[in-house]
Every structure is written in structure tokens, then in C-alpha cells.
A = this chain, B = another copy of it.
Amino acid sequence: MNQNEQEKTNQAVGKQTIRFACPPAILSRASIVGDMEGQGPLASYFDQIEPDPAFGMDSWEEGESEMVRRAVQTAITKSGIAKENIRYIFGGDLLGQLIGSTFGLKDFQIPIFGLYGACSTCGEALSLAAMTVNAGYASHVIAVTSSHFGGAEKQFRFPLEYGNQRPLSSTWTVTGSGAFLVSATSPDQPMKEYPRITSVTTGKIVDYGVRDNMNMGACMAPAAADVIYQCLEDLAVKPSHFDKIITGDLGKVGSEILIKLLRDNDYDIEKQHMDCGVCIFDNEEQDTHSGGSGCGCAAVTLAGYILHQLESNEWKRVLFVPTGALLSTVSFNEGQTIPGVAHAVVIEHIE
């Protein structure tokens, strides 16, 4: 192995982590959300709040696609990068066969990698985007994910028209799409003025045998604990290395389990931990129970609030960990468990 090879290989650290030689920059970001999110505590951070649940289209699903289209278009416009210079899109959503992404992204005519990691997809998309530009395969790529309350309830739970009562452990799918323009850097042009992705830790599927689809937090917490533990081990750092350790949509119930599981493994993250699902709604006031969830939850919280905090130097370094519950109505109805998966992305803004 020559030195060039050696250098590249050394980017893989520990069991599951890649530490980038040239940390990719998040050049721009966009967040498009629905009415409910626009009434929540993070409202002022979002690019667009749309009162029409169909986003001017004929159905929730088409509305989700329109939201995705707007998020990507806004991220491109804000970056000032010509669309022709964006080489790939990494995107996904919660709907079966990714129709939210398909119809939202098709008109951009940019080569596409469709992804599915349930609500962890934002972490998966940012990981592959960063891996791609750091390797020199592209100068600019887009990572985007979305979810829609109406479309998700219709697909996974009950028709909204039933007015079904929801248990307190259940979460409220966020209507939102977050898009990120991720760009290559080099030693000569490190782009330190932007938040940069310095490492990614890819999660394994973790199955504790939970079967309650109204308690997704409990399904996902073990996967989040697993990938956070491995990230800390691989990078040989303590939780205090980060200003925040931010999970995607564990909600109140799942967050408690996460903190306990990591404490059992000698890491106490309680001081650093926050959860996008807990932050995005005023869960008491808005009656969203355990918190927000969905592919869009972590994405718009990152695109809106978290990156703002990094850009304005409120925080220097965060561990962003979107969390996903791996089920479909078919697997659930056939009595399968609900395994979880989570992907960790370290984002820093240190000039």
C-alpha cells in the first residue's frame, strides 16, 4: 500500500467511523415546514411555513413532493451554486417506495441515490453526501429528507378522519423537508466559515424485540445508544467533547431510555443530550404527546435551528444522530418486532 492509499485508509477509524481528511462543508441549508411546526418553538428558524397541508397540490403525498422540491430549490438558491454543478442528490422519505422524494426531485435532473433508513435517513444522506465529496467524486451534492403528518398517518396508522385517540407514548410526524448543500473542501480551501462534517459513524440495526408501534422511542433508543457509544469509542472522546448530542425523534419516552442505556455503559450524556422531537413542538401546549418524529423532524431541526446555532457560534461541535424505526404495516401486522437504526454525524464550526 503506497502512502496515498495509507492516508485514505486511515480515514476509517475504529469499528464504524470515518474521520474526513477534508471535512465537507454545509454551504447552505433550507427548511420548509407545515402549519403545526410553524406554531412551535422553532418557528422563527424555518425558511418557509406553509399553512396548506397539501402545499397547493391535490394530495398530502403530492404536497410532500412539493415541499421536497421547495427545500432543494431553496438550498440551491441560497448557496449561489449553479444547479449544473451539483452532481448527486442523496434523498429519501417515509412513504412506501419513496414517492415523496421521487416526485419532488425528478424535475431537477440531477443523478440520484434513493435512501431509506426510516427517520434516520437524514443521517444516512449526510453521511453518504460527505463521503462522496470528501473522496473527490463531486464538488457539490444535495442531501434531503422529508415527512408529512397526513401522509404518514394514512400509511402507518389510521385514516385521520377516524379521529383516533393516540397514546401518550406516541409521536407526531413532522410535516417538513430539510435540504443541505454539501461541498468539498481541500487543505488550501478548508471553508472554515461554514459548518463542516468532520466524521460519520454508521449504525447497525438493533432489535430489542419491542413490538409497540405507538412507542417508537423505545424501539429506536437502543440503536441510538449503540451508535453514540461506538462513535465515542471510535473517536476516543467523552460526551463533553460535544456541546450537544442531538437525537432525531426519540421523544420524551425514548430519550429517557437512551440516557439510561448509555449510563449502563459508563457514558453520561444527560447534560449534552437534546432531541429534535422534543424541541420542535411545545408538546404540552400543542398536544403532540411524546414529541415530533419523521424523516423531516431531524432534517428541519438541523437545517433550521442546529446549523443556526453552529453558524452563530453558540455551539462549536455537535453530534447529530437521527433515529429510525424499521417497520412497515405489513411487518407489523405479521407480528414482527420493530428494530431501530441510527446514524451519527459530527458537525463542527471551528474557524
When all copies of this chain in the complex are counted, the total is: 2
Q: Which of B103, B116, B336 sits near A116, CB closer than 8 Å?
A: B116
CB pair B112–A202 under 8 Å, yes or no, is yes
Q: Which of A110, A121, A206, A326 has the most CB of B within 10 A?
A: A326
A331-B103 in contact given A11-B137, A114-B117, A118-B97 (Cβ < 8 Å): yes
- Residue from B114, B131, B186, B203 within 8 A of A112 (CB atoms): B203
Query: Taking CB as reference atom, which chain B residue is nearest A18?
Result: B137
Assess whether B336 is in contact with A136, with CB atoms less than 8 Å apart. no
| CB pair A203 B136 closer than 8 Å | no
Cβ of A22: which chain B residues have Cβ within 8 Å of it? 5
Q: How far is the CA of A206 from the CA of B326 in the complex (A)?
A: 29
Mask, A186-210, CB within 8 Å of B = 1, is 1111000000000000111111000
Q: Contact check, A328 vs B96: say whether CB atoms are below 8 A apart.
A: yes
Contact A2 B187 (CB under 8 A): yes
CB distance from A21 to the nearest CB of B (A): 9
- Chain A 107-141 near chain B by CB (<8 Å), digits 1 or 0: 00111111111100100100110011011111100
Q: Are B61 and A331 in contact (CB under 8 A)?
A: yes
* Chain A residues within 8 Å of chain B by Cβ, number: 74
Task: Given the known inter-chain contacts A88-B202, A118-B97, A207-B106, please indicate yes or no for A186 contacting B5, CB distance below 8 A.
Answer: yes
- Min distance, Cβ A122 to any Cβ of chain B, angstroms: 13
Interface: A9 (CB within 8 A): yes
Interface string of A163-204 (1 = CB under 8 A from B): 000000000000000000000101111000000000000111
Inter-subunit contact A116/B137 (CB<8 Å): no
A18: chain B residues within 8 A (beta carbon): 137
Instruction: Give the interface centre of A2, A115, A121, A339 by most chain B CB atoms within 10 Å.
Output: A115
Q: A202-B88, A336-B103 are in contact. Are A112 and B59 (CB under 8 A)?
A: no
Task: Please determine whether A115 and B112 come into contact, CB atoms closer than 8 angstroms.
Answer: no
The CA of A118 and the CA of B7, in the complex, are separated in Å by: 36
Instruction: Choose one: B58, B103, B131; the contact of A132 (CB below 8 Å).
Output: B131
| Contact partners of A115 in chain B: CB under 8 A | 113-116
Q: Is A8 an interface residue, CB under 8 A from the partner?
A: yes
Q: Verify A134–B135 contact, CB threshold 8 A.
A: yes
Contacting A137 at CB < 8 Å: which of B59, B61, B131, B326? B131
For A124, list chain B residues within 8 Å (CB).
113-114
Docked pose: A252 CA to B202 CA in angstroms:
40
Q: A12-B136, A111-B202 known; 16 other A-B pairs, CB under 8 Å? A: A2-B188, A5-B22, A8-B136, A12-B138, A61-B331, A92-B116, A97-B327, A97-B331, A99-B336, A106-B207, A110-B204, A112-B203, A113-B128, A114-B124, A131-B135, A155-B330
Can you offer 15 A-B residue contacts whose CB atoms are under 8 A? A9-B139, A10-B136, A16-B87, A18-B137, A62-B334, A96-B328, A96-B330, A97-B116, A99-B331, A110-B204, A113-B127, A114-B115, A114-B116, A131-B131, A134-B135
